[in-house]
Every structure is written in structure tokens, then in C-alpha cells.
A = this chain, B = another copy of it.
Amino acid sequence: MSTSSKRDSLKTIGEFGLIRQLQQQWPTSSPCIVKGIGDDAAVLNARQGQQFLISTDVSIEGVHFDLAFHTPKDVGWRAGVANLSDVAAMGGTPLYVLVSIAVPVRTPPKNIRALYRGLQDACAPCNVELIGGDTSSSPSHVFLSLTIVGSVRANRALTRHGAEVGDRLYVTGTVGDANAGLRILQSHSNNLRRFSPSAAEKFLIRRHRRPTPRIQVGQLLVDRNLAHAAIDLSDGLSSDVGHVCEESQVGAEIRGEALPLSSPLRAFAKRHDLDPMELALQGGEDYELLFIAPAKHHQKVLLVSEQTKVPISCIGEIKPKTFGQQLELPGGRIQRLATMSFQHFSSR
């Protein structure tokens, strides 16, 4: 975030001035918020017959985003979706968010407001309200930590535990696009101003910069009691399948042919001599849902897809734990489902 002008600078408005501006930008109205932002803690009423969901996710400059090719609005949007998507994966309704942010003192307040605007835009379709946070200076990079609070019908939350042998694995949307979009941005980071992406590249970049949380799909799966387990695709499909298998103590067979790959992804892979299936399996941050449902509910799952207008594809089957996690390649050959997805600190 570039240097601020003198009038609109953090030094001039100070921490409390910034908080006031952000509070005005994002007012709250829910009757369940007894006390929102601006006290030592927010005070919340529980909702009848509901349980609370709570999750937190960090976004760090140089790790999760790069200000060379993410606008402040992108940063806010993506951080918002990473958190909203966690609630979607539990089949819940996102309600409130707390935002902690640390920025270098030279950061222009307008960029911080733009970041909040991106977050607010991502939250707007589900009326998520800002109920707290913390604001600090940072010695170097921008740090963002969001906590999302949601609710879910009591004892109906979709955890990673619960997948049963014979169940089917489903994913929403298409997978691998965000991975390809990021690769495009990274390969043009030095000449981004002169870079004129094709329509296919624009699609992939947008999928990376502005992912969509699949909240309605998660909610319908819970309302209609259709799924045994769910997770959102943040680490990468192969890794996230691994998480579900580990928590549910099962194995899984993924049919490579069934992976929903967008045509821009196929075109990108072809052009760069990459395997599109591998991009889909290893790429993270698609924020699509992976869920596990009994085979008998297949028609009802398709109805959810029809009603939400979100494509849903069956990509495989849950197997016994001893089966491990296998990938059936298009020719019929079977290989171990490698989990080469992103893991922090890892040198791979």
C-alpha cells in the first residue's frame, strides 16, 4: 500500500480516528448484537435452537497476498471469503466478523478503508456485521486476522468427521482456477501494468482475486440433512480430501475424469504444458465446498445444484481406511492421491 498524503494519513487521524471512520463505513443493525464495536468486547444474544460457529483466519502480506498484484480491495475480499467459506463448510449462516489489522504507519487510510470495503462487499450478500477488532501499527508487512461468528441448526453442523464407506464425494463449481490465476499474476508481477490478459486469463485471475463462498449450498445440505461431512477447498483438493479421510477414518477414490475443470483452466494448462488435473488437485484457495453424501441422496444433491445455480459434481467414493486415498486416472490407471498442497513452513 503506497505512501499516504499528509491530510489523509494515519499519523494525522490516529488509531481512534481510523476506528471511527471504519465504524461509520460499516454500521450494525442486528437485534442479536447487544453491544457491537467500540467496547471491551461485543455482547451477543444466542439464537433459539442454534449453535454458534466460530473460526479465525489470517492473511499476511508476502504470504497470502502480494500488494504488487492484489489491490487493497482484493485483500479484504479474499480474507473475507476465506472466513465465510469456513462457516459455509459447516453448513452455517455467517453473522458477525471481528477484524484485527496491523499496517505500517505510512499506509494511506484510504487503502485501509478500501480493504474494509472489499471485506464488506464479500460479506454483504449474507449481511455479516462488523462487531469488533483491533488496530495496530506493524513494523513492516500488512497483517490481517479475521474472526467469523456464525450459527447453525443445533447438532446439524457438517464436520470433517462422519464420512461413511460407500458415500459419494462432491465438489461445487470448478477446481484449480484460483491456482492458475495466481500463477498468471506471479508470472507477470514485473510487468503487470503492460500485461493485457486474454478473456480466459481474466476469468482465472478473477477466480483467484474474487472467489465466492458457497454459503447457500452448505445451508441447504444442512436444512435437508443430505451430507455426512464437508470441508472447504482452501489447502487444495487432494489435501482437503486427506483431511476428511483422516478425521472420518476412511479412504477415498477420486475419479480424475470427474474433476470439474473450467475450459479456461484447460486452455491455460495446455498452453503451459501442465496437467490440468494436477493444478486442480494441488491448487488451494478455490473456496469451493467438498462434501460427502450418501449415494441415496444423489438426486436431492442435484436439486440443490439446480436451486442454487451452483454446479455440483460427484468426483468419487468413500472407501475403507485400508484402501487409502487413490486417484483413478482417465485411462483407468490407479495412483496414490498425492497431497502436494500448500502447507506453511514446508520446504516442499
Contacts and interface: CB of A to CB of B under 8 A. Distances in A.
A230 B40 CA distance: 9
A191 B157 CA distance: 54
Contacts of A38: 160, 247
Interface stretch (A22-30, A86-94, A166-174): A86-94
A302 interface: no
Interface stretch (A46-54, A180-188, A197-205, A273-281): A46-54
Interface stretch (A114-122, A133-141, A259-267, A318-326): A133-141
A15 B284 CA distance: 15
A216 B230 CA distance: 40
Given A54-B44, A90-B40, A139-B141, A98 B345 contact: no
Contacts of A136: 58, 60, 63-64, 344
A132 interface: yes
Nearest to A147: B147
A7 to B, nearest CB: 15
A145 interface: yes
Interface in A81-106: 85-87, 89-90, 92, 96, 98, 100, 102, 105
Nearest to A234: B40
Interface in A50-69: 50-58, 60-64
Given A43-B53, A56-B98, A11 B133 contact: no
A15 B89 contact: no
Contacts of A141: 138-141
Given A105-B345, A137-B345, A41 B57 contact: no
A14 interface: yes
Interface of A: 10-11, 13-16, 18, 34-35, 38-46, 50-58, 60-64, 85-87, 89-90, 92, 96, 98, 100, 102, 105, 131-141, 143, 145, 147-150, 152, 154-155, 157, 159-161, 230-232, 247, 343-347
